[in-house]
Amino acid sequence: MSVLKKVFSSYFPLSEYELGKIEPYFKPVSFSKGEFLSKENSAVNQMLIVDEGCLRIYNFKDGKDITQWITCSGELITDLAGFMFDLPGRWNIEFLTDCSGYLITKSQYKKLTNEIDNWSVIENKFIAKCFITLEDRVYSFLSMSAEERYEHFFKYRREIFNHVSQQYIASLLGMTPETFSRIRKKHSS
């Protein structure tokens, strides 16, 4: 099964027929480390399914670099508010490694409504899945210690630790690089 079909299957409840209709809308692309999928305060016109590589969603507040999320192979990424509601982008989405994937533009995405009869139902399930991910993240910040957040993230996103700077993971987990380093050292011994 292609990564495109795997990602569709995990985000969207689609039949094989529907998958076949959607696939042509996603074009294979490659990006180099350091390029951006989108930048804050700019129009958000694309969504990417990552085949290989890692990206970081971040912005700055009071001179502090804040990582909102890190996406790697087999995941979908966009600035959702900008993509869905035509708002200016709130986030910078930067390629942390060379990446390949499948890209759809906003105009092509809107055409899916005409291609798939129940697209609005499918899209609602996708957005609900995004919301659940957000709820889980908020809950972890409200109920877990820094060490518990580290352990949880390591358990479910271990591959990121080999490809992404520790300072970005620390920011994502809401801790200083020093705290992250201390916890990581404790867990590796």
* CA-closest candidate to residue 56, choices 154, 134, 166, 135: 166
What's the topology of domain 3-115? Jelly Rolls (2.60.120)
50-100 pLDDT per residue, tens: 999 999 999 998 988 899 999 999 889 999 999 999 999 999 999 999 999
pLDDT tops 70 at residue 157: yes
Residue with tokens 């986030």: 91
Confidence of residue 146 (pLDDT cuts 50, 70, 90): very high
- Is residue 103 within 8 Å of 89, Cβ to Cβ? no
Side-by-side strand order, sheet with 27-31:
27-31, 99-105, 46-52, 76-77
d(CA 88, CA 77): 16
Q: What is the pTM of this model?
A: 0.90
24-44 pLDDT per residue, tens: 999 999 999 999 999 999 999
**Domain limits, the chain:** 3-115
Name the amino acid, one letter, at 58: Y
